[in-house]
Each structure stands twice: as structure tokens, then as C-alpha cells.
Structure 1
Amino acid sequence: MTTYFVTGATGFLGRRLLATLLDRPACERVFALVRPSSVGKLPPHAKLTEVVGDLTAPIEGEHVDHVVHLGALYDLTGSLEDHTAANVVGTERVVEFAKRVDARWLHHVSSIAVAGDHVGRFTEDDFDLGQRLTSPYHATKFAAERIVREQDVPWRVYRPGAVVGDSRTGEIDKVDGPYYFFPALAAVARVPSWLPLVGPNAGAANLVPVDFVVTALDRLIHADVEPGRTFHLTAPKPQPLAEVYNALARAARAPRIAVTAPITLPTRTGAVGTAVLAELGVPAVVLPHLTVAADFDSTATRAVTGLEPPAFDTYAGALWRYWSRHLDPDRAARGPRLAGRTVLITGASSGIGRATALAVARRGAVPLLVARRADELTKVVEEIHAAGGTAHAYPCDLTDGDAVAALVKQVLAEHEGVDMLVNNAGKSIRRSVVLSVDRLHDYERTMALNYFAPLRLILGLLPHMAERRQGHVVNVSTMGVQVNTPRFSAYLGSKAALEAVSRVAAAELVADGVTFTSVRMPLVRTPMIGPTKAYDAVPALTPEQAAELVVRALVERPEEVNRPFGVFAEMARKVAPRTSRAVAHLAFRVFPDDSTPPLASVAAGLTRLVLGRRR
């Protein structure tokens, strides 16, 4: 019967090797070194004993057949001090332990990092070839392997390549190495996949799946070979980064590299490069270590194990799918668009807000309905419940700052999260600027509901959304900000202000996963336009049609949802500003402030326009 002592058993590679050793029929006992904070993390097993300790302190224990040293720090952003403590001092403690308990074998899991910047063939017998060691991780893994080589306990050294997820399931436990670039690939996947790319011919990697490494380690640990041997658990050939990218792009349905150009990855990044990498979630220090210059010979390993690692393109899809489902920081935002989402909708008691609440509920979302009139909100909730949906009502005066703060606090306490916010509540005033000179309160009232109320909600929910790395804000704006409709200066000013703030916030919050859409609504047949009788004969959308524009904004998340006429008016104003002003002034003259445009008023307006222009 065989006994083992394993360090690093709670790590991704360690847990899998531990399970493999425990399943061996000849296994009598496995002792696993675990830190006090990791006690109980390993699945219970009759043959498993946890030994509480730390690699930086003397290790206690009794005789074992095999000491398997997996414990190490791999963090390219970490300090030399931290790497030295874990990788160098830790290896010294393991060697001392192996001698003290008279272990038959010491198995040291090193890394291809010991090759440093060596260019060309690097055999399993090579070690110190004068190579430079380009990071604290590389330097301390080299020092750790030297410690093992210089002691007299029978030893073997294993150098895995860059270990990625399981080739069958894609499982991985954390984001590092090539995974840092997966969010960028997800962003590229929004571009049509047929678009050919020009990419860098920037070197090669050496990637191996964790299941191959575990199986190879198990066979090598128990192989009948002499001590003092080193084995490369690596891909048989370097994997060009362009091929690695294309294999993942195929799985992500992203554009692939059709042509490569000789580009050397920088060893340092300036302020702009660092900022760009930060937006992608990539530590700048990782960039120089993406590639390896050495070609690792694994002839002896293949002869002993009889194993060949699978080609990367055969399991890239599994890696991508697992990351997308479990590790993508924006996976919630990329998932099912409305089903199961919590959507807070203001002005939900009638009009566009009510129609939007019904529409998202039909698609499986949970609307949180906000408006002043509690009885009207209750009716909408009951209507949604009757149709088999779920909704909640929150009566609130949105012009009251304290009430909005209380609303945000209550909603976040009662729900796991708010995924989307629809700022729909609004107030419109139709009055010319000349007639508003003594009515500043018209502007103040409009700003209170159309600008400050939604701004309070955005600011109140923003920390919550940013922490969850998902959130979408839809502001129901108006086509008037494109047309500059006369007599609506108070209304359009408030809507334009909200759009401007949202555009700035959208640029700042890209990395936080929070997005914004402005829906430039055309005229909608709601109670808000009732006082303006001139609109009775003008074509207008129904609230249900308007709600479909809001749903589109929630699902597709564009920066703007525009109508063709609004785009035309905006372009016309930029191309021919004087003509656009003249047309708007004609409309201003034709439709007077009394909001009732009888034929006589229209004629009088046209006469004033003609006479006025002659003056």
C-alpha cells in the first residue's frame, strides 16, 4: 500500500490530482497540507487526512512514500517578496520535510517558466542555460527547482506548460493567463463573424489542458524510472497566438485573423496602453509573458506516459463555453435579455410606462412599478398577475429627493438586484420662451421630474449595478431634441440634459458593465399631450407601440433608439441650419400658444411670418 503527502491540494490542479491519487486501489492514505483558512474545503474521503500548516513554516508529519509538491504562488502581478516566500521558502520547507520523514520520492511540480527568455529548443535535461528570468514568478520557480536538484532525496521534476481548463468540460477555477483576454474576444464577437481581421504574428504559447496534466502526473509519479529525471508536460509544438485566437474566435463566433503581420508584443506599456489594458481587465504586467520563445522537447515524457495532449482547437470551444457561463464578468448582461430580469419603471401607472410594464412582464421580466398614484399602480400589478406574471408596486413622488432615496433603499432590500431602469415619468409644458420670461418655475418643475428625478435614481442604483457589473438604463427621451420643436424649451431642455449626463456616464462605465440608451420618442397618444388640441389631428404612436421601442432598448442596448424623421431633422439642421431654423419658425408662427389652430389662426400666422420677414 502507498502513502502520499501533497502540498497545494486545494488548488485547481491539486484538487484533481488528489482525487486521482485517492482513487488508486493501492492508495492507503493521502495527507494534504492545508492552510487554517482552507480547512474543510476538500471533499471528505476515508483515505484523506488534512494536515493544518503553511509552506512558510516547518511541516509536521510521519513517513510517506511520495511527497508531491504542487504548492506555489502564480501571480504575475505579485511581488518578489510574496513569490519568494511561497515558491522558494516553501520548497525549502518541503525538502526538509521529505528528508525528515525519509520519503521514498520527492515529486516537484515546476513550470516551463524556468526557461525564461531562452530561444529555441529546450530539452528535459536542460536547466541553467544562462537564460534571463523575466518576472518574480519565473525567477522563484527557477530557484525552487534548483533547490530540489541540489538535495539527496530521490526526486523528479515536472514542468507543465500554461495550464488551462479541462479539455472535456472547459472547467477552470479563475481568470489568468490567456483568460484575461476573453472579455475582449467577447466584445469582438459583436462584430460580424465574416469580417476578416489582420492580426499580429506575435509569437507562440504552450497551452495544455488540466486533465492531460493530471493524467500525465499520475503516470509519471508511479512510473518505474530512475531519480533525477525531468519531464515536460507540454504541447509537442509551440502554438502561434494567431491560431489560439482563431480557435477561440471560432467558438465565440467572432471574426478570425485572415492575415498576420510581424508585430512584437511590447515588454512595457505606456499610460495609454496601460489604460486600454485596464479597460479590458488585463494587468499590463501580463502582456510580455503571453508568449514563450523556447520550443519544449517532451520526447521522454511521451515515451513514459504514452500520452499526447489534445490539439488546442479540439477543446477551445469547451474553454470558451465554460468561461462564458461561469467566469465572464458580464455574463448576466450577455444572458437571456429579459426573462428573469428585474426592471424598475417610472411613470408606470399609465401611458408608456404601463404599456412597458405589461410588455416586459409578458417576456418574463419582473417589473417594479413606480408612480405617485398607488391605486393605479395596484391595477397594473393585478393585470400582470392575472396574465401569469410577477410585478411589484412602489408609490413614490419622484420630485421628492428623500422619497427617491427611500425608494432605492427599499427596492434593493426587497430584491436581489435591479437589472434595468426605465426613466419614463415625465412632464411637458408647451409655452413659448417669450411668454415664459416670468415663469421660471415652469423650467424648474420640468427639470424636477424630467431631469433630477431620473438622475437621483441613476445615482442611487449606480453603485449596485457597478458592483454586479451589469445594469442598463433606458431614458425615455423625445424626438424633439432632434427637431427642436418650438414652444417646448422647458421640456426639451430637461430631456437634453438627461441625455448629456447619460452619454458621459456611459463612456465612464464601460468597464463596469453599465450601459445607457436614450429612446427619442415621437408623438405618443397619452394623457400628457391631451391639453394640446393641435395634436388631435397629428399621427401618433399608441402607448403599446411606444413600449415596443422601450423593449428594443432593453434587449439590444443601443446608445439611441431613433425614428427616421428625427434622424432626418438632425442631419438637416447640421447640413442646412438656416433653412431648418426657418422651417421651425414657420411652425412656430402657424401654431399659436393657445394650442387651438383654427384656419384663421393659421392664416394670421402665415401673414405675420411673411410681413415679419419683409421687415
Structure 2
Amino acid sequence: MTYFVTGATGFIGRYLVQELLDNREGEVFVLVREGSRGRMERLVRQWGHPDRVTLVTGDLAEAALGVDPAWVKEHEGKIDHFFHLAAIYDMTASDEQNETLNVGGTRNALELAADLDAGCFHQVSSIAASGDHDGFWDETMFDVGQHLPSPYHRTKFESEKIVREESAVPFRIYRPAMVIGHSETGAMDKVDGPYYFFPLLKALRDALPSWTPLVGVDLGDTNVVPVDYVAKAMDHLAHLEGRDGEAFHLVNPEPQRTVDVVNLFAEAAKAPQFATPIDRAVTGKVPTRLLPRAVRPGNLVKAALRTPPAQLALRETIGRLGLPPAVVEHAGFPTVYGARLTQQALAGSGISVPDLESYAATIWNFWEEQLDTSLARDKEVVETLTGKTVVITGASSGIGMVTAFKVAQAGGIPVLVARGKDKLEATKDAIESRGGKAYVFPCDLSDLEAIDHLAHRLSTELDSVDYLVNNAGRSIRRSVKLSQDRFHDFERTMQLNYFGAIRLIMGLLPTMTKQHRGHVVNISSIGVQTSPPRFSAYVASKAALDAWSNVVSSEVVGHGVTFTNIHMPLVKTPMIAPTKIYDKFPTISPAQAADMVIRGLVDRPHEINTTLGTAGALAHTLAPRTAFRVLNLAYKVFPDSAAARGDGGKSEPDVTTQQQLLLARLTKGVHW
């Protein structure tokens, strides 16, 4: 089989090409604009089959996609499947953009497919082609007189109509629902659909306790599916025999209330959720369908949202959080999408729509870590970090990786340091794919000679070293009674958390002093303030780094070099994963931790503490005996882990007791 794909750099396109390369044999030709070759070449490396992917220069806005006629003549009759995915999938795009890319692009793609005499033209349409059709709409339906309320709806309908009426080769049509991130990784490349609500959820989480009751509005039904389902389904359906001329609905066959979808993401964000005291349980008892369509409750609400006062109010409230008023208006679909024929075609393939509840947290985490661009709108952060180099250790995952994304979003240049070069390169590629810049410096930070070499390279190869974030660290949770024959635990922890950190600071200190500017952010621990049991090795190493930084801070006054110690609460990172009781503990996310790091970089306070950490430090100062008795209670409540006991995890408890959960919630953020 031979394939031609437009829109391969797009969100659905890149996953479809991956499916074709992984599951099918043959060459894949991908259309690329000359200015997008760099981005496409990065994708080719990520796909992992560079010998099977060939770039074809062209442009969606030109006749026959602007492909060289000589190339077309050479490949005439040799393209089995022509996938057309290049289009705008954005409700907020302008009329001109939609017309040029969705309508004109489809006509140009059909012209090229005809010139190539392609075996089948695969058009990726959208459920938006249904417009605001009120009622059931399945794969056999198309033009049922539906109203098309926006340029996006109109051009999706028109482009599908062009394929149906003008295609000179056999065709198949795919209508995805609202496509969100990958169900396993959360990966997404832009804000769309339910993502527009995420900044609002983040603001609510940061301002209110998660149990705060909020009143919401029943916005009707929506329909979301993950991109991996769409790509897998398209690959399977495209290769079925005898299905030319058909349309396929790549939708969630189960009803999805918009407010329920928003609440799933609110739960993932640990934000308050919305209750709808007046919803279909109430309005459903009123025979509204007997009313003229224009005066039905849902249409009255939408009409009200379109009025100038309502639009102004929306722009000045939720609009300031990045939620366009047009998205609110189109949040719910009046259409019920049937997918019986598509489900039958997929039967036996093992391809089905996963339950959103099973991956909502994955979607949220990816957005918060990589797509949340609120920092780019913070004038102070941007002015402070733009063009500045920020060396970040432990940048291959967790707090370090997310900090790197946030630094890049604010215009800074993250310098990624960790042992694993491949992971660092993947982070660098992700940053650069969004227009940022990053450097990779692999280093084993437990090796002092390697650190010396790293410090020399950083000082000589970079124009400046403006910031250092000492994030790399090792945590060990083990009681002293189980550590009698494990002194190496203390040595290893000290080696990375203390000796490695100060070796790198000392290596960069001459450069920072010469520049007469430099700031060091040390990721310390709330444990330094609260002294939780079983963390003697870890807390001691972090306390040593705190003490060293405090002493050196007084020696470099006037040199332009300053320090910030962040007493970080419990963060849900790979470092705490081996301790199974933490699975149900209240934690902050790596993105929330990275926000604390950004504050340290911008404001440069001497310390960043939590309220509970400060209370713990005061308790140790004012009432040490009482504090130790409380800690002893926690020592008895929380047992050593199976790993600490050395039984290989075989007896690790699967459940957390109510007593443990209660204490963990009362002392949120403390490592127990």
C-alpha cells in the first residue's frame, strides 16, 4: 500500500501517520509547506520509520495543492489511499480562514487525488456538518436542511458536500466528534473544545476549596473522543473492503452532558464542581418540543448569549481567562449522533471509545503541565525571564520538566540537565515545537567529576547563566530501625541532594559573580520544617543544602547572587510512586510545584513556605516535646513500606485506612 497524507503535522494527522507506519506496509507521502519542513522533520524522527516517509512540497491554498507536476506524473496510479486531514478544526477561526482552508483546500486536494488517480479519497469531515440539527443524525444522513450557525459549521458542511458531488475517485468520509488529547499520554497540541474551560477550573481550584458548592447551567450534551481512538478507527475503517461512498461517525455512542464532562475535569483538577438545580430532570417534564423552536428554553438561552450586553459580560469575565464567548454558545449540541454502522464496522477490531472518566486526569495533567499559557500573559514573569538562561536539574520528568515548559512559555531558555539524554531531547523537541528554545546537557549529578565538567561547559558554551534550579533529588522513606545495615542510603541521598547540588552551585558561582547577577533556587522540602518520621536521610540532606545556602547568602551580598529555598510540600511525581499509600494522599501537582519555582525565579524571596510548613517549624520551636509526640503518633499510624522492609512489595497494602487518610488530609503536603 502507498499513502498520501495532507495535514500530517496536525493533531489527528500525526497520529494517523503513526498508525499507518506501525500497522501497514508501504511508503507514506506527506504534504508539507516549505516553511514547515523543520517541524515535519522532527515528526519523522518521532514516528521512527524515516525510510518510509517522503516529504512532498505543496500548499493547501494552491490548485492541486501546488505539487510539482513531474512528481504527480511519476506517481500517477500508484497512490492507494489519499487521506485529506489538512483543515481548520477551530470554532473561533475567522470566516476567511475557514473558507480558504476547509473549502478551497478540499477542492484542491480532490484535484490532486484525481490527477494521481488515487485508489480512495479519505475526507476527514466533522460532526459540525450537522449544524444545529435538532434530533438524531447518523452516518446515512447529510443534508437534512440543518442551519449552520458559524463559519466553521458551514465550511465543514460545504467541504463534505464537495467531496460527495465532485470527487473523481472513490471516497470515504469520517466525522470525528470533538477530539481531545491522547487517552494514555494526554498529549494535545492546542486549546480547543473543553480545554477552553480549563483556565476557569484552575482559577477556581486556586481560589476555593474543592468542596465549595457551585451552581451551573445545563448547557446540553457534548461529544468528545480521544485522538488515539480517532486515528486507530480511521486506519481500520480505511482498509475495510467494500465501504466506499460511506460516512463513519467517530463519536462517543454514550450521551455526554456538557456539565458532566466539565465536572470530570474539575475533579481531576481538584477544583469545585458544578451542580445544576434546573436541568433536564426538571425541564424534561415540560413538553418544550411542542413549542416553536425559537422559543424553546435552550434556544432562548443561546439567543440571550448572543446579545451585545451578554457578549460584553462574557468577554469581561470568563473571556479574561481565555474562554471565548462563542465557545459557551456552542458548548452543547442539539444533535444526537448515531454510530451504529460505524460500531458494526469496528466490531472485532478491539477499537472502542474509552470511558472519559478513566483518562480525564491524564488530559488535565498534560494541559496543566504543557498547554497552560497563563504565564505568557503575566507581564512581570515575561519581563523577568525573556531571553534568560535557566539551568534546571532533574529536567527529564516531574517538577523539573514542567518548570522547563513554563520557563519557555514565559520567553526564557531552559537548560535541561539530567542523566537520560533521550527524555531531555523529547522535552526539548516539545518546547521547540511550540516556538520555544531549549538546550540539553546530560549529566549524572551523583558524579562529582561529571558535575565539574558540566559546570565548565555551561560557563563556556552559554552566553550567560542567569538562574540555576537545583531540582534533582533522591528520596528514601525508611525508619532507622530498618536502616542499620543500609548506611549507603544516607551516603547516596547526601551525594545527590547535597554534595551534587553545592558542587554545581560552586562550579557556576564564578560565572554568576563575574556577570554580577545570578539566582539559585533550591527545591528543599516541607520535611525540613516538620521533621516527619522515616525521612531521616532525605530531610537531613535537604536541611544541609538549606544551611549551606543560608551561610553562602551572606558571603555573596553585593555580588548580585541570591538564593531561594522552596520547602516543597508532597508533589505527585515519579519520586513518590514507590510509596503506595501516597496514591490516595492529597498532593499538589507538578504544575503547581513549578508555579512555586517560577515565583522563586521572579520574586527571589529567601524562602517559599506553605502555611502548614511554617506551623510545623513554629511547633518545633515553641513546643518541641508536643511536636515529637504528634510525630510519633504518625510514625505508628503510617507503617514502613514493603520496599523498605525488603519483601519486594509483596505485602504492600492495597488500601489506605481511614485513620491514615484523615491524618494525611489534616496535614496536607507533609511526607508521612
| TM-score, length basis structure 1 | 0.57
For 1:384 and 1:249, how far apart are their aligned partners in 2?
A: 37
Map 1:474-489 → 2, pairs under 5 A = none
Map 1:409-488 → 2, pairs under 5 A = 472=599
Equivalent residue for 1:319? 363
Equivalent residue for 1:309? 353
For 1:516 and 1:49, how far apart are their aligned partners in 2?
A: 49
Which letter does structure 1 place at the counterpart of 2:109? V
Equivalent residue for 2:146? 131
Equivalent residue for 1:84? 99
For residues 222-245 of structure 1, what are the alpha-carbon distances to aligned partners after superposition, in whole Å with 9 as ceiling and x for unaligned?
Answer: 011332101100010331012112
Equivalent residue for 1:289? 330
Q: For residue 272 of structure 2, give the secondary structure of its aligned residue in structure 1.
A: coil
Percentage identity across paired residues of the two chains: 40
Q: For residue 158 of structure 1, give the secondary structure of its aligned residue in structure 2.
A: strand
Greater mean deviation of Cα atoms: 284-293 or 153-162: 284-293
Distance 1:387 1:141, change over 3 A: same
Residue 175 of structure 1 and its aligned partner are, at CA, apart by 1.3
Map 1:160-175 → 2, pairs under 5 A = 160-175=176-191
Map 1:241-252 → 2, pairs under 5 A = 241-252=258-269
Whether contact under 8 Å (2:311, 2:325) holds in the other structure is: no
Which letter does structure 2 place at the counterpart of 1:196? P
For 2:90 and 2:162, how far apart are their aligned partners in 1?
A: 21
Residue 287 of structure 1 and its aligned partner are, at CA, apart by 2.1
Equivalent residue for 1:480? none
For residues 290-327 of structure 1, what are the alpha-carbon distances to aligned partners after superposition, in whole Å with 9 as ceiling and x for unaligned?
Answer: 22110000001000012431122121111111112222
For 1:470 and 1:136, how far apart are their aligned partners in 2?
A: 42
Residue 82 of structure 1 and its aligned partner are, at CA, apart by 1.6
Which letter does structure 1 place at the counterpart of 2:184? R
Map 1:60-75 → 2, pairs under 5 A = 60=67, 61=72, 62-63=75-76, 64-75=79-90
Distance 1:197 1:217, change over 3 A: same
Distance 1:395 1:320, change over 3 A: same
For residues 550-574 of structure 1, what are the alpha-carbon distances to aligned partners after superposition, in whole Å with 9 as ceiling and x for unaligned?
Answer: 7559999xxxxxxxxxxxxxxxxxx
Distance 1:206 1:387, change over 3 A: same
Residue 209 of structure 1 and its aligned partner are, at CA, apart by 0.5
Whether contact under 8 Å (1:343, 1:419) holds in the other structure is: no
Q: For residue 98 of structure 2, give the secondary structure of its aligned residue in structure 1.
A: helix
Whether contact under 8 Å (1:330, 1:470) holds in the other structure is: no
Distance 1:183 1:419, change over 3 A: farther
Q: Which runs of no fewer than 5 residues in structure 2 stay unpaired? A: 280-297, 382-397, 408-465, 469-497, 522-543, 567-594, 615-672
Equivalent residue for 1:271? 312
Whether contact under 8 Å (2:194, 2:262) holds in the other structure is: no
Map 1:551-570 → 2, pairs under 5 A = 551=609
Which letter does structure 2 place at the counterpart of 1:75? D
Equivalent residue for 1:105? 120
Whether contact under 8 Å (1:120, 1:294) holds in the other structure is: yes
Which letter does structure 1 place at the counterpart of 2:364? W
For residues 40-90 of structure 1, what are the alpha-carbon distances to aligned partners after superposition, in whole Å with 9 as ceiling and x for unaligned?
Answer: 423141111100111111233323111111110123332211211111111
Which letter does structure 2 place at the counterpart of 1:172? M
Q: Which runs of no fewer than 5 residues in structure 1 stay unpaired? A: 345-360, 397-406, 421-467, 475-513, 518-546, 557-615
Q: For residue 2 of structure 2, give the secondary structure of its aligned residue in structure 1.
A: strand
For 1:171 and 1:204, how far apart are their aligned partners in 2?
A: 24
For 1:184 and 1:470, how far apart are their aligned partners in 2?
A: 22
Distance 1:418 1:552, change over 3 A: closer
For 1:226 and 1:153, how far apart are their aligned partners in 2?
A: 14
Residue 284 of structure 1 and its aligned partner are, at CA, apart by 2.4
Equivalent residue for 1:157? 173
For 2:153 and 2:596, how far apart are their aligned partners in 1?
A: 33
1:387 aligns with 2:548: yes
Equivalent residue for 2:617? none
Residue 288 of structure 1 and its aligned partner are, at CA, apart by 1.6
Q: For residue 30 of structure 2, give the secondary structure of its aligned residue in structure 1.
A: strand
For 1:114 and 1:469, how far apart are their aligned partners in 2?
A: 44
Which letter does structure 2 place at the counterpart of 1:317? A
Residue 258 of structure 1 and its aligned partner are, at CA, apart by 3.8
Equivalenced residues, count? 399
For 1:320 and 1:199, how far apart are their aligned partners in 2?
A: 20
Match of 2:61 among 40, 56, 72: 56
Distance 1:555 1:136, change over 3 A: farther
Map 1:21-40 → 2, pairs under 5 A = 21-25=20-24, 27-40=25-38
Q: For residue 232 of structure 1, give the secondary structure of its aligned residue in structure 2.
A: strand
Which letter does structure 1 place at the counterpart of 2:339? S
Greater mean deviation of Cα atoms: 192-201 or 228-237: 192-201
Residue 134 of structure 1 and its aligned partner are, at CA, apart by 1.4
Match of 1:203 among 184, 206, 220: 220
For 1:22 and 1:318, how far apart are their aligned partners in 2?
A: 25
For residues 159-200 of structure 1, what are the alpha-carbon distances to aligned partners after superposition, in whole Å with 9 as ceiling and x for unaligned?
Answer: 000000011111111112211111111122232222333221
Which letter does structure 1 place at the counterpart of 2:372? D
Residue 24 of structure 1 and its aligned partner are, at CA, apart by 2.9
| TM-score, length basis structure 2 | 0.52
Greater mean deviation of Cα atoms: 325-334 or 12-21: 325-334
Greater mean deviation of Cα atoms: 269-278 or 286-295: 269-278
Equivalent residue for 1:225? 242
Distance 1:515 1:295, change over 3 A: farther
Whether contact under 8 Å (1:329, 1:469) holds in the other structure is: no
For 1:169 and 1:84, how far apart are their aligned partners in 2?
A: 33
RMSD, matched Cα: 4.5
For 2:603 and 2:262, how far apart are their aligned partners in 1?
A: 27
For 2:612 and 2:197, how far apart are their aligned partners in 1?
A: 27
Distance 1:125 1:418, change over 3 A: farther
For 2:170 and 2:184, how far apart are their aligned partners in 1?
A: 35
For 1:96 and 1:175, how far apart are their aligned partners in 2?
A: 32
Residue 121 of structure 1 and its aligned partner are, at CA, apart by 0.2
Whether contact under 8 Å (1:116, 1:133) holds in the other structure is: yes
**Greater Cα radius of gyration, structure 1 or 2:** 1
Which letter does structure 2 place at the counterpart of 1:23? D
For residues 462-512 of structure 1, what are the alpha-carbon distances to aligned partners after superposition, in whole Å with 9 as ceiling and x for unaligned?
Answer: xxxxxx9996599xxxxxxxxxxxxxxxxxxxxxxxxxxxxxxxxxxxxxx
Whether contact under 8 Å (1:419, 1:470) holds in the other structure is: no
Distance 1:115 1:470, change over 3 A: farther
Equivalent residue for 1:532? none
Residue 282 of structure 1 and its aligned partner are, at CA, apart by 1.7
Q: For residue 318 of structure 1, give the secondary structure of its aligned residue in structure 2.
A: helix
Equivalent residue for 2:194? 178
Match of 2:161 among 122, 146, 156: 146
For 2:556 and 2:312, how far apart are their aligned partners in 1?
A: 48
Distance 1:469 1:178, change over 3 A: farther
Whether contact under 8 Å (1:242, 1:260) holds in the other structure is: no
For residues 16-55 of structure 1, what are the alpha-carbon distances to aligned partners after superposition, in whole Å with 9 as ceiling and x for unaligned?
Answer: 1111112234x22111001111114231411111001111
Q: For residue 106 of structure 1, give the secondary structure of its aligned residue in structure 2.
A: strand
Equivalent residue for 1:349? none
For 1:54 and 1:419, how far apart are their aligned partners in 2?
A: 52
Equivalent residue for 2:8? 9
Equivalent residue for 1:43? 44
Match of 2:229 among 212, 221, 228: 212
1:94 aligns with 2:138: no
For 2:194 and 2:346, how far apart are their aligned partners in 1?
A: 27
Q: For residue 27 of structure 2, give the secondary structure of its aligned residue in structure 1.
A: strand
Whether contact under 8 Å (1:69, 1:94) holds in the other structure is: yes
